[in-house]
Amino acid sequence: MLGMGTGFPAFLLLLLLLAGAPASRCGGPGAEAGPGGAAPAPEAGPGGSRRLKTGIVCALGALVLLSNGAAGAVAASAVAGWSRSSRLTLLSLAAADAALALLVVPLNLYGSLGPGAPPEAYCRAVAFVSASLFGAALYSLAGVSLERYVAVAFPLRHARLLGRRRLALLLAGAWLGPALLLLPVALPGRAAVLRVRFSAAALLCEPDYGSNAAYAGLLAAAIFCPAAATVTFANLRLWQAARAQRRRGEGAGLRRLRLLQLDAASRVLVPVVVGFYVCWAPCMATILYNAITKDRVHEWLEFVALWLPSGSGFLNCFVYFWTNRNFRHKFQKIRHKLCGPCSRDKWEQDVHRMVTISAVVERSSSQPVLLLDRSCSGSSTSILLPREAQTSL
């Protein structure tokens, strides 16, 4: 995570080059049709529309990478109030979201630069990487919600339920599970379970789920449904726990405090659940629609639906990191530690300049006094200051 800051300028330069590249038509018929009779995707829109889409994707990738890179660099060390399991699950989520911007965005935009659809081998590899990272982000998000639920529901057994070994298995499953489930996407030739296509509307290499609707349903049931159920159940139970804690309060003042705590919990938990479904439900609905009907949705609807999961990376970073008071305090400490010497030198220069200007202004109305340095060497300096300035200093 600490190495993301060094790779960000090169990534930003690549995005600028991709955004400034001339628009080209991609998505030939040969790359769109699947064995299941999938209908050809709509042709790419005008050059201005493609340039606009490329600019939106580039800006989204840069925003997600910068925010999650900074959050991961700060959370890499201990944060006050965060347990080891909480910090590692949040780091896994930040890494998955940053990987979406670092790999998915450049690889797909690079494939859209050619005069036609990208090669089948390239598109298949990019589709496998993109789908695996999207699945890892989903599982990581579910892992964060699960860890928080265990910490609140079982505080005395939290360290045992999420020990080092179980936490390592949880994080490894979040990254390797989607890749294993999507491994058939990477198989080329006759061993391919389904074909891949380049969506000219979304500028994205993706599996052609219409060529195998059963496999598409299996992926939705094995990746999206467990993650959605975990996020919904865990955050609902956390909200109920906050509500029960408020009801146990005694006295008007304590009840008011519990109400404030409940409101604070709602301000955190509600955006998590709502943001999850807003970002991921349209994508899954579009995939299932294409797989079942073997038809394509509107160009801009497909573009927004398939890129919304990448936008959830910025929302997750804001909800889980930047709204946390302990994280902001740690970020400020690191910023002061890195920028402290520069700020201190600037402050000393400003003070010296103010004293010198004050001496020049007041010298006409006061008798100056010669102040010699304590040093006995020949390089000792002397400063003329008025008596009032000497007394104040």
Residue pLDDT, tens place only, 70-102: 888 888 878 877 888 888 999 999 999 999 999
**139 vs 392, residue with greater confidence:** 139
Supply the pLDDT for residue 173.
Answer: 94
pLDDT band at 282 (very low <50, low <70, confident <90, very high): very high
pLDDT band at 376 (very low <50, low <70, confident <90, very high): very low
Supply the pLDDT for residue 152.
Answer: 86
Supply the pLDDT for residue 49.
Answer: 83
pLDDT band at 249 (very low <50, low <70, confident <90, very high): low
Examine the pLDDT at 165 and tell me if it is beyond 80: yes
Measured between its terminal Cα atoms, the distance across the chain in Å is 48
- Region 50-56: what's the mean pLDDT? 88
Task: Tell me which range, 24-33, 93-102, 183-192, 203-212, is most confidently predicted by mean pLDDT.
Answer: 93-102
pLDDT band at 241 (very low <50, low <70, confident <90, very high): confident
Supply the pLDDT for residue 362.
Answer: 46
Examine the pLDDT at 171 and tell me if it is beyond 50: yes
Examine the pLDDT at 243 and tell me if it is beyond 80: no
Supply the pLDDT for residue 254.
Answer: 53
Examine the pLDDT at 391 and tell me if it is beyond 70: no
- Region 365-378: what's the mean pLDDT? 41
- Is the pTM here over 0.75, yes or no? no
Examine the pLDDT at 135 and tell me if it is beyond 90: yes
**204 vs 347, residue with greater confidence:** 204
pLDDT band at 338 (very low <50, low <70, confident <90, very high): confident
pLDDT band at 120 (very low <50, low <70, confident <90, very high): confident
- Region 61-67: what's the mean pLDDT? 90
Average per-residue pLDDT for the chain = 74
Examine the pLDDT at 324 and tell me if it is beyond 70: yes
pLDDT tens digits, residue range 197-232?
Answer: 888 888 899 888 888 888 888 988 999 999 999 999
pLDDT band at 287 (very low <50, low <70, confident <90, very high): confident
pLDDT band at 145 (very low <50, low <70, confident <90, very high): very high
- Region 266-271: what's the mean pLDDT? 74
Examine the pLDDT at 46 and tell me if it is beyond 60: no
Supply the pLDDT for residue 277.
Answer: 93
* The token pair that represents 233 in the structure block: 């159940």
Supply the pLDDT for residue 353.
Answer: 55
- Region 280-292: what's the mean pLDDT? 89
Examine the pLDDT at 24 and tell me if it is beyond 50: no
**32 vs 122, residue with greater confidence:** 122
13-17, 86-90, 158-162, range with the lowest pLDDT: 13-17
CA distance linking residue 155 with residue 149, whole number of Å: 10
